[in-house]
């Protein structure tokens, strides 16, 4: 699994010009599922994400987690995180999981997060989505 985490002051995702997910302060999470990824991988990444301390405290030190700031999550599936651009100019996605496998892990990942975080929004798996965000910092990290 590959996850791009962006600390945001707000984010939303639209499908067919309709907002399907929207958050205030929290994380926009772009999730890519690769061949061979498992539920154990999803458990590990979800735990890391929830406990990640990338919000500033009262001394402006990066020290607070999502729970510490009552943060929200917006999770968007993004198979293009597995793009292989080493040869030629057109990426191949051979390392991305097949859609049915990826969707099952995406849904499982959302389930885990919803058990631990009060506000979890999401995109629509496989849809053409338009994602808007205000990156706070900017602060972006990658988890694998």
Based on the residue annotation, tell me whether 109 is a catalytic residue of this protein.
no
Of the candidates 6, 78, 109, 139, the residue annotated as catalytic is 78
Q: How far apart are CA 102 and CA 52, in angstroms?
A: 24
Of the candidates 6, 38, 55, 80, the residue annotated as catalytic is 80
Length of the chain equals 144
Of the candidates 6, 55, 79, 109, the residue annotated as catalytic is 79
- Whether 109 and 42 have beta carbons less than 8 Å apart is answered as yes
Based on the residue annotation, tell me whether 78 is a catalytic residue of this protein.
yes
Strand-pair category, 129-143 with 55-56: unpaired
Could you report how far apart the first and last alpha carbons of the chain are, in Å? 6
Based on the residue annotation, tell me whether 79 is a catalytic residue of this protein.
yes
Helices (H), the chain: 39-51, 99-116
Which residue has tokens 């989505």?
129
Exposure of 22 in the CB half-sphere (CA atoms within 13 A): 5
Return the active site residues. 78-80
């Amino acid at each position: 699994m590959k996850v791009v985490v962006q600390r945001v002051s707000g984010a939303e995702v639209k499908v067919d010009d309709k907002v399907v997910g929207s958050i205030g302060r929290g994380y926009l999470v772009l999730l890519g599922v690769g061949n061979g990824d498992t539920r154990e991988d999803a458990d590990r990444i979800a735990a890391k994400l929830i406990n990640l301390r990338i919000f500033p405290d009262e001394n402006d030190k990066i020290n607070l987690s999502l729970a510490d700031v009552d943060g929200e999550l917006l999770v968007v599936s993004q198979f293009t995180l597995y793009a292989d651009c080493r040869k030629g100019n057109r990426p191949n996605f051979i390392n991305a999981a097949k859609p049915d496998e990826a969707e099952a892990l995406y849904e499982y990942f959302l389930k885990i997060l919803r058990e631990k975080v009060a506000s979890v929004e999401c995109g629509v798996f496989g849809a053409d989505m338009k994602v808007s965000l205000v990156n706070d910092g900017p602060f972006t990290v990658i988890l694998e």
